[in-house]
Amino acid sequence: MSTLQTFIERELPKVDAALYALLDNSVMPETLKESMRYSIEAGGKRVRPLLVLAVMEDALGADNTLEERYAIAAAIELIHTYSLIHDDLPAMDDDDYRRGKLTNHKKFGEAMAILAGDAMQAMAFQSIAEAYAIPADMRIELVQLLARASGADGMVGGQVLDLEGETRQLSLEELEHVHIHKTGALLTYSIEAGAILSRMCEYERSELKRYAHHIGLAFQIKDDILDVTSTTEQLGKPANSDEASEKSTYPAILGLAQSKDQMESHYTQAIDAIAFFQEGSLLHQFAHYIIDRNL
């Protein structure tokens, strides 16, 4: 069984290659390509595409031959990246830096940032649709679920809730509702996509969605905790920015100790949901990584 580290080192370059192949297989104005490439290169942890691949490796082994799984993984990263570009815009979070680099609109201007995000969303659906080695009925299911997960019912709806919540302190329930939509829907989709591509049964698929729900919330609580306990240098963005902006966070609502308890509880429930995978599977390691990371 792979360690998470070996797995990531092996798979990450293939996810990146799929992303660049999408850019290179399109005929578009150079400035647009440059702007899209800039935000794709800005990198990040590629958690979502790696989750697709981790589910598949846990289910089918490391030698599964469906090369076009990378096209699905890339699609999800494109949706995530477009959402960050739009979230950073002056009308939204108004951020100048992300991961230590200028945000897209600071580098290319607002108009280009809006359009680069729009083009990435279309490219995500294109990537799935053009993964021709995957049967048509599977591709269209992947499109359907991604549209729901990323749109008004999911990620975009969550972003609206988040913006509306900025003007007041949210309850714990409201905060969870925001996260389940804003970040949870796409994380859950990543894991469900892996399950679909692995042709897992309905029971395992629904258990994996339960896993996704809990690691999604654990991930978010950990983010909030890191914002309080890390330095600006470690984060690549200003530390304590949540408190400064009076954002609703787990530490603000529950305090640091109880936030950690909640995170542990979600971790335990996530592990419980993947009882059908061997201990030490990539998803086990992922869950552990999420609550243990410093970044």
Q: Is 102 in the site for its own copies (CB under 8 A)?
A: no
Widest Cα–Cα separation across the chain: 52
Q: Is 163 in the site for its own copies (CB under 8 A)?
A: yes
Contact characters 29-68, its own copies, x per CB under 8 A: x-xxx--x--------------------------------
CB atoms within 10 A of CB 94: 11
- In the bound state with its own copies, the residue whose beta carbon lies nearer, of 69 and 284, is 69
Q: With the CA atoms of 212, 213, 218 and 221 taken in that order, what torsion angle do they form, in degrees rounded to the nearest 10?
A: 130
Kindly tell me which residue out of 13, 43, 100, 109 binds its own copies, with binding defined by CB under 8 A.
Answer: 109
Question: Which residue intervals of the chain are DSSP H helices?
Answer: 4-24, 30-41, 47-60, 69-87, 104-108, 110-129, 136-150, 155-165, 172-179, 185-197, 202-229, 232-235, 241-244, 250-254, 256-273, 282-292
Residue 126's H or E segment, with its range, is helix 110-129
Kindly tell me which residue out of 157, 204, 206, 239 binds its own copies, with binding defined by CB under 8 A.
Answer: 157
CA distance 199 to 205: 9
Instruction: Using CB under 8 A, count the residues that bind its own copies.
Output: 52
Kindly tell me which residue out of 72, 119, 175, 217 binds its own copies, with binding defined by CB under 8 A.
Answer: 119
Q: What phi and psi values does residue 255 have, to the nearest 5 degrees?
A: 85, 165
C-beta separation of 192 from 205 below 8 A? yes
Q: Tokens at residue 199, please? A: 């042709």
Contact characters 125-154, its own copies, x per CB under 8 A: xx-xxx-----xx-xxx-xx-xxx-xxxx-
- In the bound state with its own copies, the residue whose beta carbon lies nearer, of 12 and 147, is 147
- In the bound state with its own copies, the residue whose beta carbon lies nearer, of 39 and 285, is 39
CA distance 99 to 140: 34
Q: Is 13 in the site for its own copies (CB under 8 A)?
A: no
Closest distance to its own copies from the beta carbon of 158 (Å): 9
Q: Interface residues with its own copies (CB under 8 A)?
A: 26-29, 31-33, 36, 82-83, 86, 89, 91-92, 109-112, 114-115, 117-119, 121-123, 125-126, 128-130, 136-137, 139-141, 143-144, 146-148, 150-153, 156-157, 159-161, 163-164
